[in-house]
Amino acid sequence: MMTRRRRFSWFELSAELKRRRVYAVIGAYAVIGWIVLQIGEVTFEPLGLPGWSMTMLIVTVIVGFPVVLILAWTFDITSTGIRRDRKPLFQNIAADDMPSIAVLPFVDLSPNKDQGYFCDGIAEEILNALTRIPDLRVAARSSSFQFRGSAGDVQEIGKALGVKAILEGSVRRANNHLRVTAQLVKTSDGYHLWSKSFAEELKDVFAIQDEIATSIVAALLKTITAKRPVRAAWSKDVTAYDYYLRGRYFLRQFRKTDIESARQMFSQAINLDDEFALAWAGYADCHSLLIMYEDPKPSYREKAAQASKRALELNPNLAEAHASSGLSSLVSADYESAEAEFKKALELNPRLFEAFYYYGRTRFHQGDLPMAADLFRQAADVDPEDYKSLCLRIQILRGLGRIEEASKEAKEAIAVIERRLEWNPDDACAYHCGAGSLVAMGDVDRAKRWLHRALEIDPDDSVLLYNVACSLATMGEADAALDYLERAMDHGVINAPWMRNDSDLASLREDSRFVNILARLEKKEARVSQVA
């Protein structure tokens, strides 16, 4: 494909030099070089060094200057060490002419400031509609939503996200009245491409979302095909939709109490609209995740299967429904069905993160670690701000003996986690997942500090306790690792197939305590299967 050549800009080059700290390095080098030459001038003669020594010192300082410039351009000095700067020059301009956009979280202007979930839901539904446009590149939700409440201008945000346009907006909701303002801004110069305000009744929220998405496509794409943005399987009942958005908000927090809250919200949505496919899929996911992380109750497994089946009956072309069905099959150890459903979900939506992520976990359960690693990489490519898929891939790479590759990618994962912690300093999951990557980098002291911080935040979470055990095992602290494994069993669910294939625990497999823990776990899972 041919691309249009863009004009060279001294302003953008200067900005890039500043971003890469080249100017700072030039200043520091000049000062250090001057000091070195002064020392040479004062000390070389008294030390009896030959006259050409000073000449060589001057030549060395001069020759070192371009070398230092190249290193400053290529590498960044960060809190995790020296790493290559992967950000492309003039990142706000895509390599080709393909339109690109980021959707920022809408601002809550409601009187009580209690509609954050609703504002996020509107923005996310518009984002999801835009991802279905083949000629439009859309920044992942986790990438764009990290700028929540950011006072930075759109040009800076556009550069950070690598997009040509940004959609931002606000929502004011009072009783059944809704006011939505949206504006599409060009990141290269900050000019508006499109803007509109809607003052409607709450029941018209679906029409508002559809019009915003369609208007964005019209503004960004030169040629509008007959295809309009594909609307999600929204409810016919706006109250059911409100409950659905609340459920999705809770589910994204990914804590046990939040999963239970999400289940209640999805249940309310279904009670109001029995044909709401997305709510049925969310309801199924809640039960599957409760099985995976809290308690493998047979009733949970049955409800997950029934709810995901109902979602597929209502909308067989809904990618989220197939992903929910796949997750339900995964927690029932029906790996063949799970893979078929995840493949179908990706056929319908090639950028569905959950399908890649849980497909990867399915392959891990079966011991196919290389394919699991590839799927986790694809999940991270779809959502560059998801650290879990990156950390799981690093764990696998280390277990496969691909140590150099694991160490290199661990730096990428830590950079993502550091950005996450900057906005969410109490994210225990980020700390305990990141600890494994720090171990892969050889930064054991920092890994221990992160594990300690995670335990301070959420000391009874079974997944956290399990990951602490994994990190301690890789550090060679077997007794402490086994203690945390036993605590993890006491506080929730550990999956036997996962534990058998987890290379982080390889050093413990011959230990009698580990053998006993695994045997107890397998007996427990066998009893649950017989009841089911």
CATH number of the structural domain spanning residue 300: 1.25.40.10
Q: Is residue 496 part of a domain?
A: no
Distance between CA atoms of residues 188 and 93, nearest Å: 8
Highest mean pLDDT among 3-7, 359-363, 493-497: 359-363
Q: Which of 312, 331, 350 is the last residue of a domain?
A: 350
Q: Is residue 363 part of a domain?
A: no
* Over residues 8-37, mean pLDDT: 66
Lowest mean pLDDT, pick from 144-153, 257-266, 405-414, 464-473:
144-153
Q: Is residue 268 part of a domain?
A: yes
- Domain shared by 196 and 299, yes or no: no
- Domain shared by 183 and 201, yes or no: yes
Within 8 A by CB and 6+ apart from 502, the residues are 395, 399, 470
Within 8 A by CB and 6+ apart from 501, the residues are 364, 365, 367, 369
- Domain shared by 269 and 279, yes or no: yes
Q: Which of 307, 335, 350 is the last residue of a domain?
A: 350
More confident residue, 82 or 299: 299
- Domain shared by 66 and 126, yes or no: no
Highest mean pLDDT among 63-72, 150-159, 188-197: 188-197
At residue 9, the pLDDT reads: 42
Distance of CA 299 to the CA centre of its chain: 31
More confident residue, 350 or 87: 350
Q: Are 107 and 169 in contact (CB under 8 A)?
A: yes
Two tokens, residue 118: 């609703």
- Domain shared by 200 and 251, yes or no: no
Beta bridge partners of 181: 170, 197
Q: Is residue 277 part of a domain?
A: yes
pLDDT class of 14 with cuts at 50, 70, 90: low
Place of tokens 């709401």: 276
Say how many domains are in the chain: 3
Closest CA to 373 of 401, 348, 414: 401
Q: Are 165 and 101 in contact (CB under 8 A)?
A: yes
DSSP character string of 189-201: T--EEEEEEEEEE
Distance between CA atoms of residues 180 and 160, nearest Å: 26
- Domain shared by 344 and 237, yes or no: yes
Distances (CA, A) of 204 to 101, 121, 179, 236, 246: 25, 15, 11, 11, 18
**H or E element in which residue 23 lies:** helix 22-43
Q: pLDDT, tens digit, for every residue of 256-271?
A: 788 999 999 999 999 9
* CATH number for 119: 3.40.50.10070
Residue numbers of the domain that contains 25: 10-84
* Over residues 370-398, mean pLDDT: 93
The single-letter code of the amino acid at 468 is V
Length of the chain: 532
More confident residue, 217 or 429: 429
* Over residues 229-252, mean pLDDT: 81
| Whether this model's pTM surpasses 0.85 | no
- Domain shared by 117 and 58, yes or no: no
- Domain shared by 318 and 330, yes or no: yes
Highest mean pLDDT among 123-137, 205-219, 498-512: 498-512
pLDDT class of 5 with cuts at 50, 70, 90: very low
At residue 75, the pLDDT reads: 63
- Domain shared by 326 and 346, yes or no: yes
Within 8 A by CB and 6+ apart from 228, the residues are 210, 214, 217
Q: Which of 211, 232, 253 is the last residue of a domain?
A: 232
Closest CA to 103 of 136, 134, 140: 140
Q: Are 138 and 127 in contact (CB under 8 A)?
A: yes
- Domain shared by 105 and 227, yes or no: yes
At residue 380, the pLDDT reads: 93
At residue 79, the pLDDT reads: 38
pLDDT class of 40 with cuts at 50, 70, 90: confident
The single-letter code of the amino acid at 93 is I
- Domain shared by 18 and 65, yes or no: yes
Radius of gyration of the chain (CA): 27
Lowest mean pLDDT, pick from 90-99, 139-148, 170-179, 341-350:
90-99
SS3 78: strand
Q: Is residue 339 part of a domain?
A: yes
CA atoms within 13 A on the CB side of 437: 27
Average pLDDT, the chain: 84
Distance between CA atoms of residues 177 and 288, nearest Å: 36
Lowest mean pLDDT, pick from 96-100, 205-209, 273-277, 345-349:
96-100
Two tokens, residue 279: 């709510």
More confident residue, 11 or 311: 311
Distance between CA atoms of residues 464 and 52, nearest Å: 63
At residue 97, the pLDDT reads: 67
CA atoms within 13 A on the CB side of 364: 28
Q: Is residue 154 part of a domain?
A: yes
* Over residues 211-235, mean pLDDT: 67
Is it the case that residue 526 has pLDDT exceeding 60?
yes
Q: Is residue 261 part of a domain?
A: yes
- Domain shared by 72 and 186, yes or no: no
Is it the case that residue 1 has pLDDT exceeding 80?
no
SS3 480: helix
* Over residues 417-438, mean pLDDT: 90
Q: pLDDT, tens digit, for every residue of 306-345?
A: 999 999 999 999 999 999 999 999 999 999 999 999 999 9
Q: 387-399 vs 403-423: helix axis angle to the nearest 10?
A: 160
Q: Is residue 521 part of a domain?
A: no
At residue 88, the pLDDT reads: 40
The 3-state secondary structure of 108-142 reads ECCCCCCCHHHHHHHHHHHHHHHHCCCCCEECCHH
